[in-house]
Structure 1
Amino acid sequence: MSRYLISAIEQALWSLLNFGVNLLLIRFVAPEQYGAFAFWAAVGFVLSSLQNALTVCHLQVLAPGEATAPERLPVERLMHGVNLLFLLATGAVVLAVTLAWRAGGNPYGAPAAALFVPAYLLQQYVRALVFSRGRPGQATIQTALVCVLAAGSLAVVVIPNHAVGADPLLLALGAAYALVGVGGMAVAAGGQGRWWVPGRKLLTYGGYARQSGWIFLGVSSTELLTRFYVFVAAGAFGPSALAALTATQQLLRPIPLLASSWGLVARGDLARRRDAGDWLGYGGLVLAALAAGAVVAGLWTLLIYETWPTITARLFGGKYQDADWMVALWGLAAALGFGQAVVSTAIQVLKAFKALALANAAASLVAAGAILALIKGLGPAGAVLGTAAGQALELAVMAAILAAAIAARRRPAPAAP
């Protein structure tokens, strides 16, 4: 229980960081600039899922242990090298895209995103790495440092200048992520050798590539499901509409973040139950999380909806007061997202990556189609309702996959002839 409590504290800090950043920008920054920042933040979230497929997921299915444990060391060294190449490639591509957009007058052309995106990804990698070792306390310290550095840098950049653009915002946050990410990586990988020189060991990644392919299909589909609205709204309605959608979602983000907090610790417990054949305990842990999540999501959404006029008046500087209907819709999507995260974690621990990927792909196509269809008649509301429709389908299919996977593993092996 202490590990779950520490993980919840860490997730609360992470949630406070994200909410604090967005609250500061909502109140003091013009909607157009906030929308541009929200666009690149969404890109970071999407690429974080790709990073998860390439590297993090292979660490999270290992039993918790020390950095130099024989069963972890070769896998960690390999994933460190793969992730380094991924970060370098990401930074180069983002820089090229933002410079081209800046030259063409695109409102999302912010070259500082070339620092922000890979720095954010590095911090997320280190955070997941230490959680996979069963060290939530270490992750909590790192997240607290990010909070302190981000608060200081943004206060200097935003408060004196309300007309600040997206570039200084991304640069300030990117510097905080980079400092903590580099320092955290140096500590976490200490004693593991020269992992930053990939060399021949990258050839051994082929053994993980097939699983990564299915994981990539799954996480990319999930991100299409949860972030597709960002890119559709950004293109169809511009930065101001995207700012409204993002602002109304902010106070509901603790719901899926709570599911993420549960998953970071529960993976180890689920893995132990899997290895021990304790399928009753495995399913019970998942069902308990789903029930608790449904209650928390419902109560939290009701609280935010009822207090929305006060929130917008006192926290948002009077902005987005008439968008309370978005809060109710986002509450539905957040509750479904909590269930998705819990069931997906349980399926990943069983290594049923192919089935999970196919379910995610089907749901993402439904969501994308629903968003494109509904957004024409309902405007921004269609973006949220389409997202929720895809989430509901995915949750139902994933629950069936998990039940079938557990049932298959509970069957006794056939007797030898």
Structure 2
Amino acid sequence: MRTAIALSLVDQAMLSGFSLALNLLLLAHVSAAQFGLFTYALTLLLILTSLHNALIATPIGVGLPGRPEGEQQQTLGVLLTADHLLRLILLPLVAGLCALTSGDMTYGLAAAALCMTGLWRETQRAVAFTLMRPHRALVIDAAMVGLSAAAIAVLWTMLEPVKAMLLGTAAGNAAAVVLAATSQRLAPLGKALAAYRSTWRESRWTLTGAATTEAQYRGYVFMVEGLRGADVLGEVQAGRVLMGPMSLLASAWGRIARPTMTRAIVEGDAGRARRVLFVGTAGVLALSLVYVGILAAAWPWIEPALFRGRHPQIAMLTAAWGFTTVLSLAQICLGYYLQAARLFRPLAFVSVGAAAVSLAALTGLAWTVPPIYAVGAAAAGELLAVVWSLALVLRARKPMTQLVPAS
């Protein structure tokens, strides 16, 4: 399992580095308006990835481990067919929305191509990690990075930079999935839709949780902007810049741990699943605290090199975001166990409650409070989610492990 987690961490770091490189390349060559169009397309992809995770990736992650080979293939066939249908439905919606926003249909089609192929690759990554084949996910993503870079270099000479980057990455996504393809049989559409009705009873709660989690994670941006203005938002966001690498730890661990915990629960060994949870969570939090400690020790060099005295409160804001991010990582780890135990409905209520607390607290920005208050409001929601989720984990007795019906 350690090797699998290490491969998952390498995979996530590679993708994050590639994304950062694309952003830096565009910042150096395009106007703010053009960069805004690229950011808009990526934001749509992030939102759709949350939707896709709820409807497709999570059912794959909890529906396959521990099942007989034949049942795995039947369940996977249903979910892969549902995945193709979902992406076909989203294709014209994304293209139309982006074209309407920009007034450029070519941009809309390029953004739609990025989103559809990106979700296709996410599906294949979910299958690879669920079946404990992280090396295959790493191959897919490494191929995507290499092929996308080559396609972008070629298209850069023919198209505007933003369109070249969107279409080049889309081409890399599609080519990587095709090159790394394994034998996967789809279920007939009618049969898949009938079978997915059972999955929907759980996915609707996962979808609710995903929507409210997005509101919690991104809601403060709109609240701070609306109540205090762009200057305060910039100050608050500056403190979060260095927290990005911490999220890699929980996501890399969760991709391997969720199918492992699911397999243990299906086999009737909930105790083993909880050991995986608590040992893994302790490891994630320990590494996160080490990272925060390194930031604190290096702060006399980091602040002048990165922030250059432009943000007087940046030290306190960064420390506050560090505390909030540690809470968030703990919640993410606990959430993976609750998903493995198929406690989707209670987990959705956790997300709703946390989002409600954070957004209600953020209304305090209407008064004269320091910018760090916004971070405290986010932390309040995360703390509630951690305590509530831990209570659900400790109280859980006999999770539901029913398969997605094959017919």
TM over 0.5: yes
The CA deviation at 1:357 is 0.9
Given the alignment of the two structures, is residue 338 of structure 1 paired with residue 346 of structure 2, yes or no? no
Residues 25-40 of structure 1 aligned to structure 2 (within 5 Å): 34=35, 37-40=38-41
Letter in 1 for 2:92: A
Structure 1 residues 3-402: aligned runs within 5 Å:
3-24=4-25, 34=35, 37-64=38-65, 69-103=69-103, 112-151=110-149, 168-169=161-162, 171-181=164-174, 183-184=176-177, 187-188=180-181, 190-193=183-186, 198-232=189-223, 249-304=240-295, 307=298, 324-325=314-315, 326-374=317-365, 377=368, 381-402=372-393
Query: Are the equivalent residues in 2 in contact too, given 1:363–1:390 (CA < 8 A)?
Result: yes
- Give me the whole-angstrom Cα distance separating, in 2, the residues matched to 1:239 and 1:175: 33
Aligned partners of 1:241, 1:152: CA distance in 2, in Å?
Answer: 40
- 2:93 and 2:219 map into 1 onto residues whose CA distance is 20
Structure 1 unaligned residues grouped into runs of 5+: 411-417
**1:247-267 per-position Cα deviation (integer Å, ceiling 9, x unaligned):** 654442221221111111112
Q: Distance in 2 between matches of 1:358 and 1:269?
A: 25
Determine if contact 1:271/1:349 at 8 Å carries over to the other structure. Answer: yes
User: Quick one: distance in 2 between partners of 1:24 and 1:237?
Assistant: 31
In the TM superposition, what is the alpha-carbon distance from 1:362 to its structure 2 partner? 1.1
Maintained 8 Å contact 1:130/1:188: no
1:276 deviation in Å? 3.7
1:219 deviates by 1.8
Q: In structure 2, what residue type is equivalent to 1:365?
A: A
Query: SS state of the match for residue 185, structure 2?
Result: coil
Q: Secondary structure at the match of 1:70?
A: helix
1:246–1:179 CA distance, 2 compared to 1 (3 A) = farther
Q: Which amino acid aligns with 2:52?
A: Q
The residue that corresponds to 2:404 in the other structure is none
> 1:98 and 1:39, CA in 2 relative to 1: closer, same or farther beyond 3 A?
closer
1:382-416 deviations in whole A, cap 9, x for unaligned? 554332221221111111111111xx239xxxxxx
Q: Deviations over 1:192-245 (max 9, x none)?
A: 25x5x7344322211111111111112222222112234545667888987776
Q: Secondary structure at the match of 2:127?
A: helix
Distance 1:91 1:383, change over 3 A: farther
Look up the SS of the partner of 1:409 in the other structure: coil
Provide closer, same or farther for how the CA distance between residues 204 and 269 of structure 1 changes in structure 2, counting only shifts above 3 A: closer
TM-score, normalised to structure 1's length? Answer: 0.79
SS of the aligned residue for 1:277 comes to coil
- Change in Cα spacing, 1:179 to 1:146, as seen in structure 2 (3 Å) is closer
Distance 1:304 1:34 in 2: 29
| Identity percentage of aligned residues | 26
Report the CA distance between 1:172 and its aligned residue.
Answer: 0.8
Residues in 2 aligned to 1:85 and 1:186: alpha-carbon distance in whole angstroms = 22
Residue-by-residue CA offset, 1:324-357 (whole Å, 9 max, x unaligned): 3443333223212211111000011111111111
Aligned-partner Cα distance in 1 for 2:118–2:189: 22
Unaligned runs of 5+ in 2: 400-407
2:64–2:75 contact (8 Å) kept in structure 1 = no
How many Å separate the matches in 1 of 2:369 and 2:108? 30
User: How many residues are matched?
Assistant: 394
